[in-house]
């Protein structure tokens, strides 16, 4: 038995014992699939019963399963113009590939960073700024390197690509010049510096958001310094701006100024006044702080804008398996999401029952299902780990291990 036969057999066992979770109005959706042993992508499939989908998954055993975010009058029609578009869910895809901070991180560290960004999207933007109810939002672990966030609200289903693009632009910060969301005043003296003031924190849109973020981030940097020292703050600033060629000296100066800024901000807010950004000593430090701020608060993943803006997009079928990990594409309530550990909670129970012998292509150490695994050479490992490593091309399947 080769690698593909092993994976296909394990996936078939999963689909025999488990049902996928069908989207609302599932008979109006288009479905697409990629396979272990076929080179083509199958699209324009339609299903009209849960049993029909179950039968297909068990018989064909796709490596990846997708469905359309849109719903159609005739979803199986191969001509997109003739499908009869009726609307589409509003979906956001946050993936580690588009988050610079994940570069060089372990798989578990990478997943933690993406989870943080997903929570930021849900709480700060979808709930706070757009006012969606928690019941309108569904969070789904993609099974791989990120999360899909669904807004299942009838008011957004009829939005076209342009309207959806405006939503993405607002959330990601797009090409915003942050100074547009600050009050300006012409300074006095020979140099006549432009002075910036913050809007009240409860002001609407990005105006209040910038004020709140400046206050929160200033306090965060001060807390970081109190607990871990100056180097931790400089490393934090440079980790965010590492692609912006910010010098270590500017980072240190920015920290020192921000430390003072924090105390003044807290005082001014307590006095119900608008803090003044000109207390940052130079324009260069101020501009570095604004750049750090923008990178810190924006939602990473803007390269996946097409997932949100394209109204005919396919996305992973909830409850199916991700073909490169063997993990479940798992739906989560917001409460479940807060406690969710994908390296444990997305592992199918089916794959925890047996072991398989594999031979590693390189030595690896990984935490999965609450256990640390150090693997080198040939040996028996839990099926979920064997599937993960073989699917990612890090190991070859040898045989099943006897119990």
Q: Which of 89, 136, 253, 304 is catalytic?
A: 304
Residue among 35, 30, 115, 126 nearest 76 (CA): 30
Give me the residue label for tokens 């590939």: 97
DSSP 237: H
- Residue pair 115/96 in contact by the 8 Å Cβ criterion: no
103 burial via Cβ count (<10 Å: 0-12, 13-18, 19+): exposed
Q: Which of 89, 95, 253, 383 is catalytic?
A: 95
Query: For 370, left (φ over 0), alpha (ψ -120 to 50), or beta?
Result: left
Q: Which residues have C-beta within 8 Å of that of residue 31, sequence separation ≥ 6?
A: 43, 45, 46, 47, 53, 65, 66, 67, 68, 75, 317
Catalytic residue list contains 304: yes
Give me the residue label for tokens 């990612």: 392
Tokens in use for 222? 């001060």
Ranges assigned E (strand) in 80-154: 85-88, 90-95, 137-141, 146-151
> What is the H or E stretch that residue 231 is in?
helix 230-240
Catalytic residue list contains 93: yes
Give me the residue label for tokens 């206050």: 215
- Residue pair 57/66 in contact by the 8 Å Cβ criterion: no
Task: Give CA–CA dist 167/173, Å, rounded.
Answer: 10
- Residue pair 299/121 in contact by the 8 Å Cβ criterion: yes
Catalytic residue list contains 95: yes
- Residue pair 143/328 in contact by the 8 Å Cβ criterion: yes
Task: Give CA–CA dist 298/301, Å, rounded.
Answer: 9
Residues forming the active site: 93, 95, 304
């Amino acid at each position: 038995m080769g690698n593909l036969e092993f994976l296909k057999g394990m996936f078939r066992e999963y689909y025999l014992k488990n049902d996928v979770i069908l989207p609302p109005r599932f008979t109006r959706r288009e479905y697409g699939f990629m396979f272990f042993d076929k080179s083509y992508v199958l699209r324009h499939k339609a299903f009209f019963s849960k049993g029909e989908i179950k039968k297909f998954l068990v018989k064909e055993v796709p490596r990846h399963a997708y469905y359309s975010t849109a719903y159609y009058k005739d979803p199986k029609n191969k001509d997109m113009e003739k499908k009869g578009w009726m609307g589409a869910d509003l979906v956001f895809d946050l993936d580690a590939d588009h988050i610079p901070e994940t570069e060089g991180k372990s798989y578990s560290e990478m997943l933690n960073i993406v989870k943080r960004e997903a929570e930021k999207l849900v709480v700060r933007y979808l709930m706070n700024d757009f006012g969606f109810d928690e019941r309108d939002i569904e969070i789904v672990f993609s099974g791989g390197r990120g999360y899909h966030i669904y807004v299942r609200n009838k008011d957004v289903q009829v939005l076209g690509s342009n309207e959806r693009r405006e939503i993405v632009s607002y959330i990601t910060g797009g090409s915003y010049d942050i100074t547009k969301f600050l009050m300006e005043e012409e300074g006095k003296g020979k140099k006549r510096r432009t002075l910036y003031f913050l809007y009240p924190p409860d002001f609407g849109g990005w105006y209040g958001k910038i004020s709140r973020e400046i206050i929160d981030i200033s306090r965060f940097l001060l807390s970081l310094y109190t607990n871990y020292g100056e180097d931790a703050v400089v490393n934090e600033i440079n980790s965010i701006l590492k692609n912006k060629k910010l010098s270590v000296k500017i980072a240190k100066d920015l920290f020192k100024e921000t430390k003072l800024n924090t105390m003044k901000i807290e005082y001014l807010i307590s006095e119900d006044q608008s803090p003044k950004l000109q207390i940052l000593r130079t324009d260069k430090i101020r501009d570095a702080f604004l750049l750090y701020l923008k990178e810190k608060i924006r939602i990473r993943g803007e390269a996946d804008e097409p997932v949100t803006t394209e109204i005919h997009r396919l996305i992973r079928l909830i409850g199916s398996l991700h073909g490169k990990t063997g993990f479940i594409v798992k739906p989560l309530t917001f409460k479940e999401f807060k406690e969710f550990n994908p390296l444990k909670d997305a592992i199918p129970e089916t794959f925890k029952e047996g072991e398989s012998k594999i031979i590693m292509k390189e030595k690896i150490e990984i935490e999965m299902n609450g256990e640390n695994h150090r693997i080198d050479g040939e040996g028996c490992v839990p099926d979920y780990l064997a599937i993960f490593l073989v699917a990612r091309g890090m190991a070859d399947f040898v045989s099943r291990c006897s119990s």
